[in-house]
Structure 1
Amino acid sequence: MTTNSEKKHNKLAIGIWEKYLSLWVGLSMIAGILIGYFLPGVPIALEGMTFYNVSIPTSILLWIMIFPMFLKIDFFSVVGALKKPKGIALTSFINYAIKPFTMFAIAAFFFYVVFNQWVSSELAGEYIAGAVLLGAAPCTAMVFVWSKLTNGDPAYTLVQVSVNDILILLLYVPIVSLLLGVTDIDVPMETLVLSLVLFIVAPLVAAIFTRNVVVNKKGKEYFENTFIGKFDGYTNLGLILTLIIIFTTQGQPIIENPLHILLIAVPLIIQNILIYVIGYGGSKACRLPYNIAAPAAMVGTSNFFELAVAVSISMFGLDSGATLVTVVGVLIEVPMMLLLVKFSNKTKHWFDGYEY
């Protein structure tokens, strides 16, 4: 049995961990870059551990992050979320009617106009293509992490992401074709379907099964007050290890292309901030409660980078400028999203009194 002093110690440890999360993130990024650059065999090994473009180690870590959140979801709350479509409609509209087009416009302005003395017109076209591939692919898995860090409604986040995945299947190719003027886009459907199964269907089924077993054996009070608490801290640990893996595989291009990494990062960061402002502001205008508003803003702000990277490689090649942009999108996403999570949590009082 856990004593009161142990509980106090655990609470303090978790508090310190979360308080200095930005520091741990920075250290893990540096560690990953150094590992990738000085131990090139490690990223080669990690890149070999993929199945239909989805990293197996990263998938395991994402499961560690997502599963505790799914444990909190009651099936009946999912049904209830479907009856409240305002937040889902807002997210979907931003993701597919606004985000890809603002990404195209911002990228074209910076690479053709602002950065034209450092980037050739041919390379600028590749960079814009990579930006579009990112902009047309809203996030799938990591949204659950951002939702947890902002105390989002897990059931509603699940519905938002599920609808988003369906729309990706229908709209990704038409939007990319329209913006890039190409028709022979080879979208790896295996990657899409596998991501849907891995990051939504499987953890949800496992969580529902676990919830039912524990509640039936020890009661709902034990499940909500004790069992779920056993998973505290796993989200942050999974996030740190995921970052180390991501930056390990991208350490060499970061060190070898510092200027272009910075140039690419500028429009991507501006795009992220713009979409977040539209989503967060739109949620306030719709009078959505904070636990729905924050995740709604996060869905469009972050990207389904596994899909973007896979499509870019198949269309333009591993060493193309387009693929480099999708990789930089991975690099800036987590630090950027953590800043937006922090901002959201500090401004949640803006949504006081809103009910849904």
Structure 2
Amino acid sequence: MSREATAAGPVAARLSFLDRFLAVWILLAMGVGLGLGRLVPGLGDALAKVTVTGVSLPIALGLLVMMYPVLAKVRYDRLDTVTRDRRLLVPSLVLNWILGPAIMFALAWVFLPDLPEYRTGLIIVGLARCIAMVIIWNDLACGDREAAAVLVALNSVFQVLAFSALGWFYLSVLPGWLGLQSTGLNVSVWEIARSVLIFLGIPLAAGFLTRRLGEKAKGRAWYESKLIPRIGPFALYGLLFTIVLLFALQGDAITSKPLDVVRIALPLLVYFAVMWAGSMALGKAVGLDYPRATTLAFTAAGNNFELAIAVAIATFGASSGQALAGVVGPLIEVPVLIGLVYVALAARRFFPNSPESVGDSAACAEGAARV
């Protein structure tokens, strides 16, 4: 029996009730959100009235609570080892900013040639690269926390610089070259930058200051053994709260148009599978260890759905097909990436020469026990 397997039992026994059945709570949160959106008249409109960069304020607060504890766990003194790793950084940029948008564009046209609103919404999802919830999936799969922080920050910078240009290219220019129907996307660089600053900048700054001040006041041992266990569960509380609100926002639309949801879901399923598996294989091929290959895979497969939803709502309206496609994004992404956490943990056996994949068995067992 492997070291990870023997460690899993004791670790699982020490986990809280919430941690031990995380997948169940996520599915229940999705169900509760859909039920609330369907059964409570006007709930979606109420959630959408007070917004931050086009995203409901309660959802924005949930995202910030979700991200802060994970970013407080990051060892910022180790980030230089990540930034020097070109085997990680170069593939990540290629996967996120060349292959990812191109694959989503192709899948949107293959699966939704007759539904331009949903097709446009999917392309916008493909352009919005991960900066938020992917940190949770990476943590559960025992990915490299510091590498995830660097890649997410890198995606944020490129998002500000490239999102509008890529939207113009994939929605207006490329369809014209291919003789397909084109669509406009009017979103300013400032709108993208503001979204990034809110959803990444605030929790990143809070996490950095928490670690810096906590270690300075009480030392690293106290910070790791006392403070982190206290604030850590709030990531899961924020995750579940966010999922309930996201699915409540368009619960009525989702449940009243099941066939449309299925059609939107199919290209998303293919996208997540292709991007994750291809990225994981590429990571192994270029010699990355398990934690960094896992981080590469999740940061390439995940998407910034909050930005995609904000752009769709701001450009096309809250009740538009583009906005519905954006909301279906996390509807599919959440359960699929939870499933891929299982797959990632099982794939550790294919990285036998990775020191991190065998040297931190307790941490990996905790991740396995959580899912």
> Structure 2-normalised TM-score?
0.84
Is the Cα contact below 8 Å between 1:104 and 1:179 reproduced in 2? Answer: yes
Structure-2 residue corresponding to 1:3: none
Asked whether 1:111 is paired with 2:102, we answer no
Structure-2 residue corresponding to 1:252: 252
Counterpart code for 2:334 = V
Is the Cα contact below 8 Å between 2:68 and 2:235 reproduced in 1? Answer: no
Match of 1:175 among 166, 184, 191: 166
Deviations 1:210-265 (A, max 9, x none): 22332233222111222212234322222111111111111100111011111111
Q: What displacement does 1:90 show?
A: 1.0
- Return the alpha-carbon distance in structure 2 between the equivalents of residues 269 and 285 of structure 1: 24
Match of 1:132 among 123, 128, 132: 123
- Return the alpha-carbon distance in structure 1 between the equivalents of residues 313 and 218 of structure 2: 50
Structure-2 residue corresponding to 1:305: 305
Structure-1 residue corresponding to 2:71: 70
Counterpart code for 1:157 = A
Q: What displacement does 1:183 show?
A: 8.1
- Return the alpha-carbon distance in structure 2 between the equivalents of residues 354 and 97 of structure 1: 28
Label 1:309 to 1:70 Cα distance change in 2 as closer, same or farther (>3 A). closer
Deviations 1:191-227 (A, max 9, x none): 4223322333322322232223322332221112222
Is the Cα contact below 8 Å between 2:118 and 2:321 reproduced in 1? Answer: yes
Is the Cα contact below 8 Å between 2:160 and 2:196 reproduced in 1? Answer: no
Label 1:12 to 1:62 Cα distance change in 2 as closer, same or farther (>3 A). farther
- Return the alpha-carbon distance in structure 2 between the equivalents of residues 287 and 39 of structure 1: 52
Is the Cα contact below 8 Å between 2:144 and 2:291 reproduced in 1? Answer: yes
Listed as ranges, the gaps of 5+ residues in structure 2 are 1-9, 173-181, 357-371
Structure-2 residue corresponding to 1:22: 23
Label 1:256 to 1:351 Cα distance change in 2 as closer, same or farther (>3 A). same
Listed as ranges, the gaps of 5+ residues in structure 1 are 1-8, 113-120
Question: Residue 303 of structure 2: SS of its match in structure 1?
Answer: coil
Segments of 4+ in structure 1 off by > 4 A? Answer: none
Structure 1 stretch displaced more, 229-238 or 148-157 = 229-238
Label 1:16 to 1:180 Cα distance change in 2 as closer, same or farther (>3 A). same
Question: Residue 347 of structure 1: SS of its match in structure 2?
Answer: helix
Counterpart code for 2:90 = A
Label 1:306 to 1:213 Cα distance change in 2 as closer, same or farther (>3 A). closer
Label 1:13 to 1:235 Cα distance change in 2 as closer, same or farther (>3 A). farther
Q: What displacement does 1:99 show?
A: 1.3
Asked whether 1:215 is paired with 2:206, we answer no
Structure-2 residue corresponding to 1:102: 103
Structure-2 residue corresponding to 1:239: 239
Is the Cα contact below 8 Å between 2:111 and 2:267 reproduced in 1? Answer: yes
- Return the alpha-carbon distance in structure 2 between the equivalents of residues 33 and 354 of structure 1: 42
Label 1:138 to 1:52 Cα distance change in 2 as closer, same or farther (>3 A). same
Counterpart code for 2:168 = S
* Equivalent pairs, count: 339
Counterpart code for 2:329 = G
Structure-2 residue corresponding to 1:344: 344
Label 1:196 to 1:311 Cα distance change in 2 as closer, same or farther (>3 A). closer
Counterpart code for 2:207 = A
Deviations 1:116-167 (A, max 9, x none): xxxxx3xx22222221111111111112111211222222111101111111
Question: Residue 129 of structure 2: SS of its match in structure 1?
Answer: coil
- 5 Å matches for 1:1-356? 12=13, 14=15, 16-112=17-113, 121=114, 124-181=115-172, 184-354=184-354
Q: What displacement does 1:314 show?
A: 4.1
- Return the alpha-carbon distance in structure 2 between the equivalents of residues 133 and 139 of structure 1: 13
Counterpart code for 1:320 = S
Q: What displacement does 1:188 show?
A: 4.5
Question: Residue 140 of structure 1: SS of its match in structure 2?
Answer: coil
Label 1:10 to 1:106 Cα distance change in 2 as closer, same or farther (>3 A). closer
- Return the alpha-carbon distance in structure 1 between the equivalents of residues 252 and 72 of structure 2: 38
Structure 1 stretch displaced more, 100-109 or 181-190 = 181-190
Question: Residue 306 of structure 1: SS of its match in structure 2?
Answer: helix
> Structure 1-normalised TM-score?
0.87
